[in-house]
Structures are given as C-alpha cells and as structure tokens.
Amino acid sequence: MSLTTSHLRVHGEDILEEAPGFTTTHLGLAKASGTIEYPLSALVSHALYQPIRKGLPRLEARQFISIYLVDASHNITLLKFAELDFN
C-alpha cells in the first residue's frame, strides 16, 4: 500500500487510516538502515519528502526520468519516448 493510496481514504477505513504512519515509518527505517539501494532509495526519499500527488506532473516526470536513466533495467525505447515527450 502506498502513501498515495492512503491519501484517498474516507473516514472509517481503518487500514487506510493507519497506512500513512506505517508506510512512512517502515520506509524511513529501511532507507536509514541502507537496505534500499539506489535508484530505489532516491524514489523513496522523494516519496517521503513529497507525495507524487502533491507535485507538478511535469516536474515529477523529469525527476523520474533522471532516476530511471541510471537504473540498470531501464528500457531504452521507453526512455527515449519519455525524453522526447518531456522536451
């Protein structure tokens, strides 16, 4: 369950009401202990700092492109299309 999902909760959904605290705590601990490696650690840091839904879509896309570029499993065609779309 992500931080974004928990922001869509309505009153009375107990699991989703507990999700932000649980997720933030556990992601913060995993990041601090060094169990999450780059580039995933960069995404976790950003998600803890600012949820995607609160950011500007174009700026979020640009940041994700730069992180995805250094990911060893990136798809070069998808990356080229994303860069073309952004530019």
Per-residue pLDDT tens digits for 17-75: 888 888 889 999 999 999 998 888 998 898 888 877 788 888 888 888 989 999 989 99
Q: Residue 82 and residue 72: Cα distance in Å, rounded?
A: 17
Distance of CA 6 to the CA centre of its chain: 14
Helices (H), the chain: 3-6, 14-33, 40-49, 57-70, 76-86
Q: How confident is the model at residue 76 (pLDDT cuts 50, 70, 90)?
A: very high
Residue 77 is predicted with a pLDDT of 96
**pTM across the whole model:** 0.68
